[in-house]
Structure 1
Amino acid sequence: MSKRGKVWLGVAGLVINDEGEWLVVKKSYSGLKGKWSLPAGFVDEGETIDEAVIREIKEETGIDCQVKGLIGFRTGIIRDEISDNMAIFLATPRINQPFVKSERELLACEWRTPKSLVTDHLTSAMLKEMASSTPHETQFCVNETVDPGDIFGYTSYKLFF
């Protein structure tokens, strides 16, 4: 925690291919270990949030992409003390390319349909909520009903899509 302090800023990328499939990963660590989630990570010093999401997607999956826009924001408080914030971007692959999965960070990396993610018990709470929502009907409205589970220790949790 000392490296990041008590205010965290992360990014996640919803990468959608020409077939409408979403790029999803299973982390090999943290509370998301073994769960389908979006490629994500923390913003580093000296980079913008859009640069950070492009870097994180490339580091985890080998996919080079282009950011199309900001589509959501997740914010929460962990153990009543850490402000955990994540900007969620829409992106597209620059070219049709194979995965180069980060062996250090990921158990798996796949293209999945939103429908398959909604019914998969291994889909993270945030990703399941995204896959079951129609973007135009909930765009940047607050959702305080999503339960991320006890694994992270959130005392407050909100999604904006």
Structure 2
Amino acid sequence: MGKRENVWLAVAGIVVADDGKWLVVKKRYGGLKGKWSFPAGFVEANETVDEAVAREILEETGISVKVEGLVGVRSGVIKETISDNMLLFLCTPLNSEVVYQESELSDAAFKSLEELESDPDSSLLIHYCSKLTNLSMLKETNAMNPGHVFNYSAYKLFF
């Protein structure tokens, strides 16, 4: 058994369109089934966290994004055995036509904050984020790779 298999790393995107609407999805399964939530998923072994969030958003919704920066971290422990961690990124959509992954989602759409705040199907995280007046952000910086001794094939800093 791997030493880290009980440490999960996921990413989610707060995708904000020019008109202020947010991209939200309804999962077909899991704890958020039937609730509006942010497009999200797990980081794969061969990608950085910002690459993971862009991939997940595109796979789930057909929306390509520019990742603007890191706005939050959600960290919890499930049943005292799994460290469940999620990085939330602010993203700008590069297209507007939502084509959602029907195997995973029952719906996906751009919704106004007013719609989301008044919808009983909005997740707690959406309610929390919708009330923040400004999202502080850690942006990707031009970092020097710390050297070949570490064997990084990708290396990024967010400050």
Identity among equivalent positions (%) equals 49
1:70–1:90: 8 Å Cα contact kept in structure 2? yes
1:14–1:90: 8 Å Cα contact kept in structure 2? yes
Q: Give the equivalent residue in structure 2 for 1:75.
A: 75
- C-alpha RMSD over aligned residues: 1.8
4+ residue runs over 3 A deviation: none
- TM-score with structure 2 length normalisation? 0.80
1:71–1:90: 8 Å Cα contact kept in structure 2? yes
1:22–1:111: 8 Å Cα contact kept in structure 2? yes
1:10–1:87: 8 Å Cα contact kept in structure 2? yes
**Amino acid paired to 1:81:** T
Aligned pairs for 1:1-161 (under 5 A) are 5-95=5-95, 97-135=96-134
Query: Quick check: 68-77 or 4-13, which moved more?
Result: 4-13
Q: Give the equivalent residue in structure 2 for 1:151.
A: none
**Amino acid paired to 1:52:** A
Q: Give the equivalent residue in structure 2 for 1:144.
A: none
1:115–1:132: 8 Å Cα contact kept in structure 2? no
Structure 1: stretches of 5+ with no match in the other structure? 141-161
Q: Give the equivalent residue in structure 2 for 1:159.
A: none
Aligned residues: 136
Give 1:139 deviation, angstroms: 7.6
| Deviation sequence 1:40-96 (CA, Å, 0-9, x none) | 00000010000000000000000011101111110001111110000000001113x
Structure 2: stretches of 5+ with no match in the other structure? 139-159
Q: Distance in 1 between matches of 2:93 and 2:71?
A: 17
Give 1:133 deviation, angstroms: 2.0
Quick check: which has more Rg, 1 or 2? Answer: 2
Q: Distance in 2 between matches of 1:80 and 1:14?
A: 29
